């Protein structure tokens, strides 16, 4: 401060105030050279020309201050480094002690697991490694083993002999199930079903076999090592009960594959407009599958072979209706006239034909926009309408209005 004075009364505050430095920076924002030049002129005005006694005294004081700062900064860095090293050393020591205690408690559990599967098939699936993390001291490499052992590993102190025996026995049971389900993992049960079935059921088995051969790892070990979400207790229960069709549906549902396979079942590649028809089947499948009755908890029930074939039959019947409705819509005079007048939309990146062809992929949801746009942009007559149900009910007039709206908005990705 300019008001600072020494005990003898002499002024000791700086004659160049921080406010002046701030003003220089504001006059030359971001221009370091201009700031240096302006500051040099300020020093010359206050302390005189370079070489003067007052200027030498000023520069010596600046040098001393810089040395004091550099020394203090070096001391601070040394202190921070020393403190960090002490903390790290203490933390490492604590972690090592925690890890040693946890490992001591876990070793009997791991030994019990190894003893339980000593003569079991696929026992290599329990492979594990010790970690330096005290809170994840042991890591199993296969998901279903890791899930089975998770409670014992996370709280080894509360792992009673009864609990350990039960969990190890469950892991052994699952290893045995994998070894006894070779017909499932080789997909031979589908090959056998193809020979003994006919009609829709035969085609279902053929397309499921194609999917398995292309997309699923061959053999149980390869599948469980892949860390798939479908490898859970339900899968093992189905394999144990020899319900191989249900087990396959369980795997495909977890992978979201049923909606991709169903169009291939109902529409062959040789069929006219096969691509468009498969798109339509996909929409019909989503709608029909979603209409299944929920269970007591309000969730979708697990697929069974019977429920899948029943739903597939419903899907085929509704697809046949929707397919005829699409053809009638595309041949409707009003729709043809609308497409023929494409020149009215010159420069629009979404051709009318493309918008109208969305009849092959009718959304079962309403148009979705942010709330503040929805009521201002979407015409009242197509708010809260679902193109799928307009097509199903043959409301071609309103469906054409939806497709007009797509053209106006230059996109059909609005559902």
148 backbone dihedrals φ, ψ, rounded to 5°: -65, -35
Tokens of 27: 């006059």
Q: What is the mean pLDDT of residues 197-211?
A: 92
Q: Which residues of 24-145 form beta strands (DSSP E)?
A: 128-130, 138-140
User: How many other CB atoms are found less than 10 A from the CB of residue 77?
Assistant: 10
Structure confidence at residue 6 (pLDDT): 58
Contact 334, 400 (CB under 8 A): yes
Contact 325, 390 (CB under 8 A): no
Map residue 347 onto helix, strand or coil: coil
Residue 347: pLDDT band with limits 50, 70, 90: low
Structure confidence at residue 1 (pLDDT): 45
- In this structure, of 51-65, 231-245, 273-287, 318-332, the range with the lowest mean pLDDT score is 51-65
Residue 318: pLDDT band with limits 50, 70, 90: very high
For the stretch 358-392, pLDDT in tens is 999 999 888 887 776 777 788 888 888 999 999 99
Contact 287, 340 (CB under 8 A): no
- In this structure, of 1-5, 37-41, 62-66, 357-361, the range with the lowest mean pLDDT score is 1-5
- In this structure, of 242-256, 285-299, 363-377, the range with the lowest mean pLDDT score is 363-377
């Amino acid at each position: 401060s300019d008001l600072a004075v020494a005990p003898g009364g002499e002024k000791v505050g700086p004659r160049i105030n921080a406010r002046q430095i701030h003003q220089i920076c504001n006059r030359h924002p971001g221009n370091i050279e201009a700031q240096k030049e302006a500051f040099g002129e300020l020093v010359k005005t206050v302390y005189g020309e370079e070489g003067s006694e007052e200027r030498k005294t000023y520069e010596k004081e600046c040098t001393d201050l810089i040395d004091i700062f550099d020394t203090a900064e070096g001391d601070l860095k040394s202190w921070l480094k020393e403190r960090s090293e002490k903390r790290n050393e203490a933390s490492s020591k604590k972690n090592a002690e925690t890890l040693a205690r946890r490992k001591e408690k876990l070793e009997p559990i791991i030994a019990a697991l190894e003893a339980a599967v000593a003569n079991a098939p696929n026992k290599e699936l329990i492979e594990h490694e010790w970690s330096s993390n005290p809170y994840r001291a042991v890591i199993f490499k296969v998901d279903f083993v890791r899930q089975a052992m998770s409670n014992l590993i996370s709280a080894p102190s509360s792992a009673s002999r009864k609990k350990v025996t039960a969990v190890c026995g469950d892991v052994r049971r699952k290893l045995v199930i994998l070894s006894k389900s070779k017909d499932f993992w080789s997909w031979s049960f589908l090959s056998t079903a193809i020979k003994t079935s006919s009609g829709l059921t035969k085609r279902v088995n053929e397309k499921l076999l194609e999917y398995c051969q292309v997309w699923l790892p061959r053999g149980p070990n390869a599948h469980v090592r892949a860390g798939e979400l479908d490898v859970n207790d339900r899968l093992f229960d189905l394999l144990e009960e020899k319900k191989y069709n249900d087990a396959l549906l369980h795997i495909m549902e977890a992978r979201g594959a049923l909606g991709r396979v169903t169009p291939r079942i109902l529409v062959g590649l040789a069929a006219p407009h096969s691509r468009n028809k498969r798109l339509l089947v996909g929409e019909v499948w989503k709608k029909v599958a979603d209409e299944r009755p929920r269970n007591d908890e309000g969730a979708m029930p697990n697929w069974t072979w019977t429920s899948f074939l029943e739903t597939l039959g419903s899907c085929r019947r509704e697809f046949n209706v929707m397919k005829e409705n699409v053809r009638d819509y595309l041949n409707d005079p009003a729709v043809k006239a609308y497409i023929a007048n494409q020149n009215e939309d010159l420069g629009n990146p979404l051709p009318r034909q493309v918008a109208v062809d969305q009849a092959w992929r009718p959304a079962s949801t309403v148009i979705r926009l942010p709330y503040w746009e929805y009521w201002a942009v979407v015409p009242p007559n197509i708010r809260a309408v679902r193109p799928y149900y307009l097509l199903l009910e043959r409301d071609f007039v309103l469906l054409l209005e939806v497709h007009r709206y797509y053209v106006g908005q230059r996109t059909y990705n609005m559902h």
